[in-house]
Structure 1
Amino acid sequence: MSDRHSQEKIRSGTGPVAIPTPSTSDEKKTPHNNFLKRMFKFASNDDKEEKKTPGVPILQLFRFADAIDRTLMAVGTLAGEMIRFANPGKLGLTQELKDELDHSVRKYCWYFLALGLGTWLVAFVQKLTWATAAERQGKRIREEFYIAILRQDIGWFDGLSTGELTTRISGDVNMLQEGTGEKFSFAIQYFSSFIAGFIIAFIKGWKMTLVVLAVMPIMVGAVSVMGILLADSASGGQGSYAEAGGVADEVLSSIKTVMAFGGERRELERYDSKISKALAKGLHKAKVLGVSMGVILFTIYSVYALGFWFGGKLVRDHEMTTDGALSVFFSIGYCLSSISSARGAAAKVYQIIDRKSPIDPVDTETGMSADGIKGEIELSSVNFRYPTRPDVQILHDFSISVKPGQKIALVGESGCGKSTMIGLVERFYDPESGVVKIDGVDVREYNVRSLRQQIGVIMQMPVLFGYTIYQNIIWGAIDVDNNPPTMEQVIQACKDANAHDFISELPDGYDTMCGERGALLSGGQKQRIAIARALVRNPKILLLDEATMRWTGHRQTAPRLPSPTGSAPIRDSDVIYVISKGRVLESGNHEELIGLDGAYAKLVEAQQLRQSIERGVEEYSADGSGSHTQEDDSTG
């Protein structure tokens, strides 16, 4: 289904194509009226779209923290506060050491050693607790993210690439984890030092403190703007890297096709365009960080100027506070970058986690059970468009019916809606209008998981996993974890799929590894294993797509709904539906449709002509040479 859909997207101009590097002419169209626009604005529609997802509030970074995590973070924060008190202690000991340098050096050496050991201990506790809490939350977020992906409907996946999702689950969660670990604890530590310094300064010299506080709104505003801009730029950069990851995943998973058509350079350019976009956003982030830090440092040095202007003694009392503020804001800028990146990453990750799928395949509670169905299928006046292509009508007032035990064939040109109909029966999608019924019940009334357990599907391009042949086959069982099929059942399914003989001839038999996506097997072998995988669950409904019609299996108990483009077993179908552009043109068995001398008769005639030509080419290749043909042409 996904393969056919991808092909249709490519033909319609909506599929994956080489994306040119963005033209600089677009940027020139956007007026840059001031310095901030030149520094912070890249004229790109993609950027505008990405910035519609703001970073999450800071406290939301810890939404998956449990009681243990919160306890660990509290202990780590306390340890960080103890480290903060080590610096004043060091300064005090240094001052006393200056006063008694000739008398008690050894004693103060022991004091410094004890201070160092204590600092080492609390620093170890701080890093350990925060890192542990971050790892625990990271694991939990990855699990929730993965579960959320598996719960989504196929229409949602149509608009995304697998590479983008894998980038989210790795890169974005790593950023989120980094921003909720020790970097966050350092930010708390530096901020508390900043507040404590002002409290002490207010006690020692409230006049000077009030003067300094007068410029603090500027500093706070600069830090706030810095955080917002960093969150936006981090989110944009993560989106670009996710797109680049999607391109790489698509190319590497189809490397044989890329090489066969010499598309290496084209795909390299497509990947480079995505990476260049990420580079531009990385430079944008660097500019944001640089300008923000410049504003903050300018404000701090303005505090120095005010201090010197206000008076000698007050300046001397306040020197430690301003110097501390300088070092604190250097550190806060470093940590704020990680926290802002975490906010941007969390926004994208949480957006997927919080998305409620309209067709949830994991839910086992909602809807009625489909365990007792007989397999009667009815599509009545169905209209359908793919969510990713709402302007293209795929099915128009589409109606068919299938009785239990019947073999139905859908015949038509490529892209006419045959695979779409199979997706509707599986409830990969819901129709725009009309109804899809099984045993007289709307499929939307059934529990999605229960319904799909009663359906066996064999797609045109079967996908196998990197397991053994045996593991791939039992993967199709209804409840493989609690009630796996016996070896006898697996062998019987393979015999019905005409796969047992070739499997038995392999050196490792059923323990033969298939390789990633079945790369170690031929196309025909993969197809027969896919048929066995569908049969091992003894489905009530069996759906076959295109090339699998060449299989003439022995089981006839389940309704079989193949969608061939034209092959001999069509003649044996109980009912043949001829489809064109999403509409049913005619229906009946082979003899009836031939008698109508309509669309089906023309398809059969065209197929017979094609087969005659193919036989002629084969005979020519076996018997004649090019010179003989030229001689005939000359005499003719």
Structure 2
Amino acid sequence: MIFRWFESLIDAFKDPVDTMPPKAVGRFYLFYLRQVWPVFAAAIVLGFGVAIVEVSLFGFVGRIVDMAKGVPGKDFFAIHGRELLWMGFVALALRPLFIGAHDMLVNQAIVPSLTNRIRWQNHRYVIRQSLGFFQNDYAGRIANRIMQTGASLRESAAQIVDAIWYVAIYYGSAVVMFAHADWWLAMPLVVWLFGYVGTLYFFIPRTRKRSWAASEARSKLMGRIVDGYSNVLTLKLFSHTSREEDYVADAMAEQTDKLRSMTRLTTAMDISITTLNGFLIVGTSALAVWLWSQGRVTVGAIALSTGLVIRINNMSGWIMWVVNGIFENIGTVQDGITSIAQPRAVQDKEGAMPLEVVAGAIQLEDIHFHYGKQGGVISGLNLAVRPGEKIGLVGPSGAGKSTLVNVLLRLYDLEDGHIRIDGTDIAQVTQESLRSQIGVVTQDTSLLHRSVRDNLLYGRPDATEAQLNEAIRKARADEFIPGLIDGEGRRGLDAHVGERGVKLSGGQRQRIAIARVLLKDAPILVLDEATSALDSEVEAAIQESLELLMEDKTVIAIAHRLSTIARMDRLVVMDKGRVVETGTHAQLITHGGLYARLWQRQTGGFVAADDALA
């Protein structure tokens, strides 16, 4: 019960204000630690208590030696019984209480919940990044940075709290107790402190810089490994296993060199601190014995000072590793910030409202978009699609067809112009609502590495079993789904499809994609080369499903295989980012322009316009 209470102190899935995390390291830490400040404040107070209790135990040792020296054994407990009981209470009750409460806060509340809150909030921010963000980086590196940043931020923050108290309490108490016995006894400790701080001052900033470089190299290595695993079919098809090994080995060698560079500093710092500690132990012990020989301190002072400096020696090594770990973790957090704290290229406007589609009219007004390049991809394009109209986009590669679809879905923001759906500018509505009103079937159908059911319900999570089965039937996916079985024995709708759907054929993936969009039943439909990757027999089978899919919808279809869209209400021919022709298949053939030339090139003149329409 008590474990659960501590575990409930931090909600790992609390949603933050949806803003970009700060880029500065200090503010990045505060951004997350502010959310749990009461728990951290309690950990600081308990850490203070633990440090006080630990130091008091050394004071008890010296006190017991002095008490035993001045009193006959038979009277010892009678004279000092109460003081001994207090010492026992501190050791047997207060110490476990403080340490137990501190460990509960750290291990039950902070370690699992804060770590995963940071990961969750970073993931929520990053998953809403634009398409371009993910196209410009390794998916593995992004995921690695999100996972590592949460753990490193939590670890370094907790270590800083513990380290500060232990240093302050141990050193402060030691100086006071040594000076109380004889101020000369505190001198080796004061000299040691200057040397210790100077050593850390020299090594720590350099360790932090090299730690950041090592973390960056580790993320790069992870990205290359995941990239190879994700594209393992390409690797095998081209017989490039050795080339891929060299590609990963290059990143691994870089990461090893960066790590060695960091560990050299760590080893040098360890040797320096160990040498300083040797002078502290020898200097303090020798001075304590000499002062005792002069009658200036008691035997208890020798026991106290020797025991405490040995403890400080152990603690200083621990502090060195903690401080080194803190800056190593800060370096990891800095590496993570490079991916996490990036502005979103596509954002909802303040006060954006959900899009409501009644008719499905689409108006593109003088739109411009260039992917940040010099020269045009889409330049001054105008196009109007009537409600329920089915148009085919035609043109040579690079004409801007897929780019038009990308800006219609607002995967990228226009540089100029407007796109309106039923008169509403899509830049003024929420992205989620816009995309919920548009169904998309693409050439490269990517399925999630989950069950067939999960992939289908992406179209409509609240769909009933009857609606799900109806969509499967219309897409003619009922011909193969019942026979599916995965490596763990799951069957039918429960069978997992593998990463990106690799366990299914191209035709099977496409039918699931069509069923998913049928289930979504959005009023606007985009078909982007939906059948170009399929053979003619499979394409013919799927064409019937596409006809059902297009019923009562506004449709924009892209196809290089012109015979698949010849029956559309209207064909729009694009070239160099502009509309150059528009009309029916027969009209464009008669016109003798770009479309007619593309048709002639594909058919060799053997397929007449009437045959294509038939």
TM-score, structure 1 normalization = 0.75
Q: Does 156-165 or 174-183 show the bigger shift?
A: 174-183
User: Is the CA contact 1:187–1:336 (under 8 Å) kept in the aligned structure 2?
Assistant: no
Hey, what does 1:375 align to over in structure 2? 360
Residues 235-283 of structure 1: CA deviation (Å, up to 9, x unaligned)? 2222222222222222212212211111211221121222222212211
The 2-side partners of 1:400 and 1:495 are apart by: 35
2:397 partner SS = coil
Residues 153-184 of structure 1: CA deviation (Å, up to 9, x unaligned)? 22222222210122123233233333344675
Find 2:392's aligned residue among 401, 409, 416: 409
Hey, what does 1:78 align to over in structure 2? 49
Hey, what does 2:409 align to over in structure 1? 426
Hey, what does 1:514 align to over in structure 2? 497
Find 2:346's aligned residue among 336, 355, 359: 359
1:131-150 pair list within 5 angstroms: 131-132=107-108, 133-150=110-127
Matched, 1:262 2:268: no
1:144-543 pair list within 5 angstroms: 144-181=121-158, 184-186=161-163, 188-206=165-183, 213=190, 216=193, 219-294=196-271, 296=273, 313=291, 320=306, 325-349=312-336, 355-360=342-347, 366-386=351-371, 390-391=373-374, 393-477=376-460, 480=461, 484-503=462-481, 508-543=491-526
Cα–Cα, structure 1 residues 350 and 301, in superposed 2: closer, same or farther, change >3 Å? same
Cα–Cα, structure 1 residues 104 and 337, in superposed 2: closer, same or farther, change >3 Å? farther
Hey, what does 2:3 align to over in structure 1? none
Amino acid at match of 1:489: Q
Cα–Cα, structure 1 residues 536 and 302, in superposed 2: closer, same or farther, change >3 Å? same
The 2-side partners of 1:567 and 1:105 are apart by: 105
Matched, 1:62 2:45: no
Cα–Cα, structure 1 residues 412 and 201, in superposed 2: closer, same or farther, change >3 Å? farther
The 2-side partners of 1:505 and 1:498 are apart by: 14
The 2-side partners of 1:540 and 1:95 are apart by: 90
What displacement does 1:576 show? 2.1
Hey, what does 2:589 align to over in structure 1? 594
What displacement does 1:227 show? 3.3
Residues 170-203 of structure 1: CA deviation (Å, up to 9, x unaligned)? 2332333333446752553244212322333454
User: Is the CA contact 2:362–2:422 (under 8 Å) kept in the aligned structure 1?
Assistant: yes
User: Is the CA contact 2:119–2:149 (under 8 Å) kept in the aligned structure 1?
Assistant: no
The 2-side partners of 1:58 and 1:97 are apart by: 51
Amino acid at match of 1:517: R
What displacement does 1:214 show? 6.9
The 1-side partners of 2:479 and 2:226 are apart by: 35
Residues 354-410 of structure 1: CA deviation (Å, up to 9, x unaligned)? 55535347x9x83122123432223233222335xx457432333333222112222
What displacement does 1:284 show? 1.8
Percent sequence identity is: 23
The 2-side partners of 1:488 and 1:311 are apart by: 90
Q: Does 366-375 or 299-308 show the bigger shift?
A: 299-308
Residues 129-158 of structure 1: CA deviation (Å, up to 9, x unaligned)? 322222221121121112112222222222
User: Is the CA contact 1:234–1:340 (under 8 Å) kept in the aligned structure 2?
Assistant: yes
What displacement does 1:503 show? 3.4
What displacement does 1:335 show? 0.7
Find 1:557's aligned residue among 543, 552, 575: 552
Cα–Cα, structure 1 residues 331 and 88, in superposed 2: closer, same or farther, change >3 Å? farther
User: Is the CA contact 1:457–1:543 (under 8 Å) kept in the aligned structure 2?
Assistant: yes
Residues 270-314 of structure 1: CA deviation (Å, up to 9, x unaligned)? 212222222122112112323444555566677789989999649
The 1-side partners of 2:179 and 2:446 are apart by: 70
1:457 partner SS = strand
Amino acid at match of 2:443: Q
User: Is the CA contact 2:589–2:596 (under 8 Å) kept in the aligned structure 1?
Assistant: yes
Find 1:573's aligned residue among 568, 577, 580: 568
The 2-side partners of 1:506 and 1:156 are apart by: 35
Amino acid at match of 2:503: L
Amino acid at match of 2:50: A
Q: Does 549-558 or 242-251 show the bigger shift?
A: 549-558
The 1-side partners of 2:30 and 2:524 are apart by: 49
1:586 partner SS = strand
User: Is the CA contact 2:116–2:150 (under 8 Å) kept in the aligned structure 1?
Assistant: no
Cα–Cα, structure 1 residues 296 and 374, in superposed 2: closer, same or farther, change >3 Å? farther
Amino acid at match of 1:278: Q
The 2-side partners of 1:60 and 1:104 are apart by: 60
The 1-side partners of 2:25 and 2:123 are apart by: 22
User: Is the CA contact 1:380–1:400 (under 8 Å) kept in the aligned structure 2?
Assistant: yes
Residues 416-452 of structure 1: CA deviation (Å, up to 9, x unaligned)? 3322211111111102222222223321111111111
The 1-side partners of 2:149 and 2:417 are apart by: 41
Residues 573-632 of structure 1: CA deviation (Å, up to 9, x unaligned)? 2222333343433332212222232222222122124999xxxxxxxxxxxxxxxxxxxx
The 1-side partners of 2:72 and 2:318 are apart by: 33
The 2-side partners of 1:67 and 1:610 are apart by: 78
The 2-side partners of 1:57 and 1:210 are apart by: 40
Q: Does 189-198 or 317-326 show the bigger shift?
A: 317-326
User: Is the CA contact 2:441–2:530 (under 8 Å) kept in the aligned structure 1?
Assistant: no
The 1-side partners of 2:150 and 2:394 are apart by: 47
Amino acid at match of 1:237: A
2:353 partner SS = coil
Amino acid at match of 1:518: G
2:566 partner SS = helix
What displacement does 1:499 show? 2.7
What displacement does 1:72 show? 4.3
Cα–Cα, structure 1 residues 610 and 223, in superposed 2: closer, same or farther, change >3 Å? farther
Find 1:128's aligned residue among 85, 104, 111: 104
Amino acid at match of 1:194: Y
1:65 partner SS = helix
Residues 64-113 of structure 1: CA deviation (Å, up to 9, x unaligned)? 425345424533442343223223334544666688898799999x9998
2:419 partner SS = strand
Q: Does 463-472 or 114-123 show the bigger shift?
A: 114-123
> Any gaps of 5 or more consecutive residues in structure 1?
1-51, 613-636
1:553 partner SS = helix
> Once superposed, what is the RMSD of the aligned Cα atoms?
4.0
Q: Does 90-99 or 249-258 show the bigger shift?
A: 90-99
Residues 492-513 of structure 1: CA deviation (Å, up to 9, x unaligned)? 3334433344435668544444
2:449 partner SS = coil
1:386 partner SS = coil
The 2-side partners of 1:58 and 1:418 are apart by: 44
The 2-side partners of 1:204 and 1:522 are apart by: 84
Residues 207-243 of structure 1: CA deviation (Å, up to 9, x unaligned)? 6757865785564344244333333222222222222
User: Is the CA contact 1:80–1:123 (under 8 Å) kept in the aligned structure 2?
Assistant: no
The 1-side partners of 2:76 and 2:402 are apart by: 87
User: Is the CA contact 1:576–1:587 (under 8 Å) kept in the aligned structure 2?
Assistant: yes
What displacement does 1:120 show? 5.6
1:464 partner SS = coil
